[in-house]
Structures are given as structure tokens and as C-alpha cells.
Amino acid sequence: MKTYDMGITRIEHTLANTLTGAFFVTLISGLLLYSGLLVSLGYAVEICLFTHLITAIYFLIFGSIYTFFHLKKTIKSRRNSTFFTGIIVLFLFFVCLYSGSNLLLLSRYSYEGSNIFTGNTHLATSLLFLAFISGHALFSRYNVTKQSKKIDHQINKSSFRATLIWSTISITISVLLILPLFQATTSSNNQLTISNQAYQYPYGDNPFEPSKTTTTNNQFIQHKFIGGSKKCSSCHSDIFEQWSRSAHRYAAADPSYVKNINLLEEKKGIESTRYCEGCHSPIALLSGQLTEGGKHGGTPGTMAFNEGISCLSCHRTVAINNTEGVGSFHFVATSNSPLIDATNIYSTQLANFLTTASPKKHKTLFNSNITSDPKSCASCHAQFMDKEMNDWGWVKMQDEYTAWLQSPFSGHGGEQFSTANIQTCQTCHMPLVHSNDPSAGKDGMIRSHNFAAANTVIPSFFGEREQLDDVINFLQSNKLRVTIEPPKGNKLVNHSSSISAAKLNHNEAPIQFYAGQSTQINIAISNINVGHAFPGGTTDIQEAWLHFQAVDSTGEIIYESGKESLASDSAAIYKTIPVDRHGKHVWKHDLFNVVGDTFKNVIPSGKSDIVVLEFHIPKHAKGPVSLHASLRYRKFTQAYEKWVFDGRSINIPEVEVARATITVPVRLEAPAS
């Protein structure tokens, strides 16, 4: 026998067979996982992943043993080409295993990142390993004996059999590991708390009417496929924390909603609450609770009450039925994945492991492009009432989506002064924030899920101080602008401009007030950075107004308007006053009584409202006079607040959204005419 002899010992022979089989099973299963071809094939991803891991672990342990014996046999070989390729194979072997371990332990939903050992590295080293080990085998064959070739032939035949055996064994083990989780998810498949026979259909064949929500074949969805948001926190802790203090989370627990949904149930029956629950409590609606004997989302202690708009409410919405609102979304339960309904500790840990180890399926199932489309917001932030609910006829209510389309932010409206950039609902209400969340992009940013807007009641009532601060900061972040304009042909001394009277053109005297005379001031309130009208949403129970003061140098208020929103001397109020069929004010937000509005005053996006004030300057006024104008906002009117909280006060803050101040000198005598 020649100096260089394959010299396959009995141990090497046995290991070579099984390692070849294990390697090809690992490679094929890895390629299938990387390609994403199995995502839509039930449990195929989970089985394939376990197969990949089982064979990879075997390859790691026994590949190391084989390497030890093989190096011991060949370390003194002088065949440079064979030895060189063998060293490269050994290097690639360990890089491939390290990169795979790194992905498993530190995986993110995107394989991109600062770490060099990404999914692409793992794939590349696996393919290079295959190429170089093939080259290593070919170089080895040039200088082997006939006996060695015979042995080599036997190895090839044995390796083929080993591949088939390994495939069968590893897949069987994988199925057995997945089976408990499979049973956990299918044993409770879409069972209803309320039986189909008891469910009432007063609004038509669609069980969710008058909500416009639909499901596949309009089947009910078991509540665990809609709720259980706490499970998401095991990976998405930042996003879960943001959502936990948001108005979405409290959509059903909101005390005003509880008050109104109970009123609706009392007046029109629990079936009528489907109109509201599609947006405020999809869990109660889709699980078939909203019929006699069931519990609506405003019932404390229920999953629907605790989660409101759950994570899956948005992340399993696969289509928007229309942009008219009233819950017009299509929800599909994920019935082919073990990732959302684990019922025991083992299943939960296994589900989390599967998700982090191979996130492509999870990302495909729960990260639909629908969530980044403004139409997804239209499904609930647009609303109408029809005859089936108000016994009158079709009435349009809030519609933030159409208001956005008509704004300068959508790119569909006319050119306005506010901005030339297209911005969506998500751009404004879900700004990018830094996070360590696994769904973060390469820049470490995610979309915020606290949905800061204008609801100051929910965080005040539930003690969510951070959320309240976010909402107030949002309202005060240059969304609107107040400008006190000088009368025609005159100049004002404005604090913000720092222009002194001495610097004005000598032919243009500064404006002056004259003691004992009346004057007129114009104030512009401009909606410069709200993507819809201000105020938006439920304008019947909230209000904004202009507060104006003229104060002389002694501190005396010589004129005031809008000290309180309900004051009769308020110069400008922005709200809606809906009425019923008898012309009476519907002030309890009982929208099923609304047939129209007697008053509606809002500021469209990119537009301004001009408020004209006239007041008298007393003869004793000491100049200069400071003019203060501020736009103030309350989420609830005082009457509605008292009704919701039964007369109790929860200190809903009045937010100063924007303000302006100028000073005007006062002369004692007016010039002769």
C-alpha cells in the first residue's frame, strides 16, 4: 500500500457514511428554509427546521470526532493539494457551524445586521464546504490503492443509504417533537362560547353586521386566534410596552366606551353592539359573543375588555373591504401555524424557539403590508350610520381618511402651504423610534405602537403618565399655528421678530392703540401639520377653542374671550353639535339617535380660520398692551365628562396647542381727523 493511503479505519468508515447522509439532509433542509418555499405548507417549516437542527447537531459532534481520527491518520501526508483542500474544508466546517449557532442564539427577524455571521454567511459557507470537500475527495482519489478505491465505492453506496435513513429518522423525530404543539393548537380549533344555534342575525346573513368586518366564509374565530397579545411580548417587548399604554389597548376599557356600549345594549340589544365592536373590540365580535347570553367588549374581566384592539387584530388583517369604515377589514385566523395558540409551557417555549430560529414564516404571516397602508386606518377611523341603526337614514360621521386624501399630505389634494412631502397616517401617529426589538431595521428603528394622537382621557384615567406626556407633546409639536395679524397698513411690534420701532420705515408708523377707543384684531389659526381636519375624530364630544387676552402693563385684563370653552363670549369654538330627528342636541354620543348636525366648525388640513375680535381700550389703560392668543383643547366636553364619570372629576387636562403674543403701544389721544 502506498505512503498515502485512505486508511479508513472502522470508526472513520462508519462515521463517513452517517456524516455524508447528515450533511445532505442538513443542506437540503437549510436551503428549503432559506428559500421560504415551505411557508404556506402548514407545519412544513417547523418540521424542516427541527430536521435541520437535529442533523446539524449530529454533524457537529460526530464531525469533530471524525476530524480527529482523520487528521491523526493524514497529518504527515505530503500531498499538498489534498492537505490544502482539507485544511480549507476544516475551516469552512467550523465557520459554518459557528454562523449557524450564532443565528440560532441571536436570531432576528431580519438576518441583516452588523454581525458578520448572518444567514447569508451561513448559506455561503455551507455551499463552499460542499464544493471544497468534493474537491478534497477528488484530489484524494488520484493516489489511492485499488483496495482504497474499493472501500471508497462502498462508502459512496453506504452514504446514499445513510442519507435516506437520516432523512427518515430526523423527520420522524421532528414530527414527534412538533406533535404536542400541533395538538395544543388544533384541539381548541375555533370553538365558540356561544353556539351557532343561539346566535341571532337581525342585520342580515353576515354574522358581524352592522359592522363591516368579514372573515373567511364569515366564520367565527376562536378568541385565542385574535387575542393573547401578552405572548408577543416574549420577543417584542418594546412594541408590547408601547401598545400596552395606547388608546388601542384601552379601546374597549375606555370608560366612555363602556358607558356608551352599555347604553346601546340597553336601548337596542346586544346584537346592535356589533356596530361598535368591530373597531373597539374585535375579539368579542369575531368570536361570536355579541348575541343573547354573550358579553360585549365593555365587560370588565374579559379578554376583549383587557386587550381592546389586540396585536393580531391588526396583524392578521389581510385586506380592507372598503374605506367607508365601521370595521371594514377582512380578518383571517392563522390555522396552519403553532405560533399563536400555545396552551402550555412546553408549547410556548417551543413556539418561541421556532419563531426566533426561523423567523421568515412568522414575518410572512404577521407582517402584512396592509398595516403600512393608510386604508388600514380608514377601516375604523371612518364612520357612517345607516337606517338599520338610527331608524332614519344614511348619515356620514367622522372620516379621517377622506380628510387625509384631501389634505396636502396625501399627494392627492391641491397644493397647500403646509408641506410638499407625502405623509401617511403611520408617518405621523407611528413615528420611527429607536428600539432593540427584533423587527427593527438596519438602523435600529421601529414604528412606535403607542399611537399618540389627541386622547388625553384614557391615559389620565388609567394613570398612564408617559402616554399622557406623549399625547400632550404630540398636540404641541407644531401641528397648528396661531398668528395675531396687524390691521391693514400698519406694523406691529412682535416679540418673536425682535423688530424695534426705530428700525421701521419712517413713513410707516407702528400700530398703536388709542385710549378710550375701540379696536379690531384678526387672529389666524392655521392647520399646518395635521393630516386631516382639526379637531378630528369624535368632534361631538371634544372641543377646541380660542382663548384671547388683552393685558395692559399693570397686569389688568382689559379684554378676554374664551376663558372657558363653554363661555358665551368664546370667539371661536371648533366642534360638532349633532341632533336627533326632533332637533335636540345629541350630547351623550348616542350616535344611533343622530340624523344630522346643526353646527360643525373644524379647520381642514392646510387651511386657516380667521377670527375677528373687536374690543374697547379703556382710557385708564397703561401701555403697552400685550395680546395673548392661544388655541386650547379638551378631549371631552364638560357635560359629557360629567355623564361618563357620574359627576366625578378625573382632571382631564386642557392642552394649549399653540399660542402667539404681541405687544402694542397705547397713545392717549387719537390723531385729529
pLDDT at 56: 82
pLDDT at 671: 59
- C-alpha angle 638/639/641, rounded to 5°? 65
What phi and psi, each to the nearest 5 degrees, are found at residue 467?
-65, -40
pLDDT at 135: 75
Of the candidates 469, 442, 320, the one whose C-alpha atom is nearest the C-alpha of residue 382 is 320
As a whole number, the mean pLDDT across the chain is 81
For the stretch 466-487, what's the b/e string if a residue is b when 16 or more beta carbons lie within 10 angstroms of its beta carbon? ebbebbbebbeeebbbbbbebe
| Cis amide prior to 459 (ω within 30 degrees) | no
Asked whether residue 360 carries a pLDDT value surpassing 80, the answer given is no
pLDDT at 555: 95
Q: How distant is the alpha carbon of residue 170 from its chain centre?
A: 39
Range from 31-45, 399-413, 641-655 carrying the lowest mean pLDDT: 31-45
Q: How confident is the model at residue 446 (pLDDT cuts 50, 70, 90)?
A: very high
- Strand segments, DSSP code E, in 607-650 are 608-616, 625-634
- Cell numbers at 421, concatenated: 412631502
- C-alpha angle 215/217/223, rounded to 5°? 45
pLDDT at 348: 66
Asked whether residue 22 carries a pLDDT value surpassing 90, the answer given is no
- Output the furthest CA–CA distance in the chain (Å, rounded): 129
Asked whether residue 115 carries a pLDDT value surpassing 70, the answer given is no
pLDDT at 52: 83
Region 330-348: mean pLDDT is: 66
Region 626-634: mean pLDDT is: 96
- Structural domains in the chain, CATH included, are 10-186 (no CATH), 196-335+373-383 (no CATH), 478-667 (2.60.40.10)
Asked whether residue 150 carries a pLDDT value surpassing 50, the answer given is no
Model-level pTM?
0.79
pLDDT at 42: 65
Asked whether residue 39 carries a pLDDT value surpassing 90, the answer given is no
All residues at 6 or more sequence positions from 129 whose CB lies less than 8 Å from its CB, including other chains: 89, 92, 93, 96
Asked whether residue 173 carries a pLDDT value surpassing 60, the answer given is yes
pLDDT digits 0-9 by tens, 497-534: 333 333 444 444 457 888 998 899 999 999 999 999 99
pLDDT at 355: 73
236 vs 8: which has the higher pLDDT: 236
619 vs 338: which has the higher pLDDT: 619
C-beta separation of 325 from 379 below 8 A: yes
Region 183-205: mean pLDDT is: 62
pLDDT at 180: 57
The dihedral built from the CA positions of residue 358, 359, 362 and 368, taken in this order, carries a sign that is: negative
Q: How confident is the model at residue 415 (pLDDT cuts 50, 70, 90)?
A: low
C-alpha R_g of the chain = 35
pLDDT at 382: 96
C-beta separation of 459 from 467 below 8 A: yes
Of the candidates 561, 564, 558, 483, the one whose C-alpha atom is nearest the C-alpha of residue 528 is 483
For residues 100 and 631, give the distance between their C-alpha atoms in angstroms, rounded to a whole number. Answer: 58
For residues 240 and 405, give the distance between their C-alpha atoms in angstroms, rounded to a whole number. Answer: 30
Asked whether residue 464 carries a pLDDT value surpassing 90, the answer given is yes
Counting Cβ atoms within 10 Å, is residue 538 exposed (0-12), middle (13-18) or buried (19+)? buried
